[in-house]
């Protein structure tokens, strides 16, 4: 790819600029859909952006005894990590930056925000934030194992560790949502837990521990951390769309190339929005469970089911390739 085009891909479309815009849009859709389900009116289209700008202008308060530089850098690190992850997820076709093993990189980068939240909670010198941080990391150990396992399922079946190659495999064969339905469901549950949305909003349970690790975040730090979660939502749903729903590729070739890219982009939008609708419905239909209940649920059922899924993939693959 032409270096100038590559730069355009990274910075403008479908890279960072589009990503930020789409993150705000998904937040809007999430809030609007939730509001309608709760018989409320909901925010206007630009509300998420307005909230972001407003928070940027607010005073930044550093708690006494907290290292302001580390505290301020943490949200930036989280945001940078999830934005980088987006570059390897197919949006209008395979990613030009794809390499063998980028799936692992994306998963790793997607985990960073949770680690950062734990750090922020621990650094805050605030009992609610510390408790929330401990909860965040406990929750990480519960959902991350099944989430990783089921996302590796498509990679094992397609014989590639690159998201873009898995999408190509799906274009010539079948969607993994049909081949590995159990894995698809667990991936959705894992994403819900990763994004700390009800019923897994345990680390930031408002009525219990104020805002958990977020308690001492103010001004632009809070704005950036919220943006990180929105971007995580985009990357997470795009990743699941790519791994399980065939991403932006059609099973047959489309000419000319620009038309194919446009179709791919529309497919991307439709699939990520569909996933968001599922996540929002789960969020609205349930209350928050306790961390011990999540522990029992995660390790007893989710992890076992994920292992069964991976075992089934391995066995079937061994069967078909003698």
Partner 1 sequence: MAEVVVPIGPQHPALKEPVNFKVVADGEVIVRLELDVSYNHRGIEKAAEARDFVRVVPLLERVCGICSHSHTTVFVKGIEEAMKVDVPPRAQAIRTIVAELERMHSHLLWLGVAAHEIGFNTLFMWTWRDREAVQDMLEEITGNRVNYGINEVGGVRRDLKPAVINAALARLPLLEQRIATYADMASRERTMLMRFQGVGKLTKQQALDLGAVGPTARASGVDYDVRNDDPYLSYPDVPWKVVTDDHGDVFGRTLVRVGELREGLGIVRHCLENLPGGPITTKAPRAAPRAEVLSRYEAPRGELVHFIRTNNTDKVERLDIRTPTLANWTSVAVSLVGQNLADIPVIVAAIDPCLSCTSRITVVDREARRTRTMDWEELRAHGIRFYREKEGS
Q: d(Cα 30, Cα 246) in Å, to the nearest integer?
A: 23
As measured in angstroms, the least distance from the Cβ of 205 to partner 1 is: 6
- Minimum CB separation of residue 135 from partner 1 in Å reads 8
Smallest separation (angstroms) from partner 1 to the CB of 117: 17
Q: Which one, 37 or 312, has the nearer CB to partner 1?
A: 37
Least distance to partner 1, CB of residue 33, Å: 12
- Nearer to partner 1 by C-beta: 33 or 242? 33
What's the closest the beta carbon of residue 301 comes to partner 1, in angstroms?
A: 13
Using CB atoms within 10 A of its CB, is residue 206 exposed (0-12), middle (13-18) or buried (19+)?
Answer: exposed
Rounded Cα distance between 106 and 208, Å, is 32
Binding site for partner 1 (CB under 8 A): 37-40, 127-128, 130-131, 134, 198-199, 201-202, 205-210, 284-293
- Asked if 268 and 91 touch (Cβ cutoff 8 Å), the reply is yes
> Which residue, 201 or 216, is less far from partner 1 as judged by CB?
201
- Measured from the CB atom, is 152 or 202 closer to partner 1? 202
* Residue placing its CB nearer to partner 1 in the complex, 194 or 288: 288
Q: From the CB of 199, what's the least distance to partner 1, in Å?
A: 5
| Nearer to partner 1 (CB atom), residue 13 or residue 297 | 297
Residue closer to partner 1, measured from CB, 284 or 316: 284
186: number of CA atoms within 13 Å, CB side? 30
* Least Å from the CB of residue 131 to partner 1: 7
Q: Nearest CA to 77 among 48, 119, 107, 49?
A: 119
* Helices 16-37 + 68-86 axis angle, to 10: 90
CA-angle at 239, arms to 79 and 241, nearest 5°: 140
């Amino acid at each position: 790819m032409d270096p100038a085009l590559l730069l355009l891909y990274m910075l403008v479309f479908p890279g960072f600029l589009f990503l930020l815009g789409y993150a705000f849009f998904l937040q809007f859709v999430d809030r609007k859909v939730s509001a309608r389900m709760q018989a409320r009116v909901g925010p206007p289209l630009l509300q998420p952006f307005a909230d972001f700008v407003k928070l940027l202008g607010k005073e930044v308060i550093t708690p006494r005894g907290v290292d302001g530089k580390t505290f301020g850098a943490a949200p930036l690190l989280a945001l940078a990590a999830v934005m980088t992850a987006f570059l390897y997820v197919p949006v209008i076709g395979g990613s030009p930056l794809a390499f063998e093993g980028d799936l692992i990189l994306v998963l790793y980068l997607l985990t960073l925000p949770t680690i950062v939240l734990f750090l922020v909670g621990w650094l805050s010198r605030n009992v609610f934030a510390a408790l929330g941080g401990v909860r965040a990391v406990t929750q990480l150990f519960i959902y991350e194992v099944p989430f990783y396992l089921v996302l590796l399922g498509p990679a094992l079946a397609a014989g590639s560790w690159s998201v873009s190659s898995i999408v190509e495999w799906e274009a010539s064969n079948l969607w993994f949502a049909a081949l590995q339905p159990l894995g698809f469901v667990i991936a959705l549950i894992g994403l819900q837990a990763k994004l700390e949305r009800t019923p897994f909003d345990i680390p930031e349970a408002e009525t219990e521990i104020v805002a958990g690790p977020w308690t001492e975040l103010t001004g632009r730090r809070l704005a950036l951390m919220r943006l990180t979660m929105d971007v995580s939502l985009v990357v997470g749903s795009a990743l699941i769309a790519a791994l399980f729903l065939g991403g932006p590729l059609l099973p047959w070739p489309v000419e000319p190339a620009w038309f194919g890219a446009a179709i791919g982009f529309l497919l991307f939008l439709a699939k990520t929005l569909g996933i968001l609708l599922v996540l929002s419905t789960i969020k609205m239909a349930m209350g928050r469970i306790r961390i011990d209940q999540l522990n029992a649920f995660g390790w007893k059922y989710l992890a076992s089911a994920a292992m069964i899924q991976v075992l089934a993939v391995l066995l079937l693959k061994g069967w078909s390739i003698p």
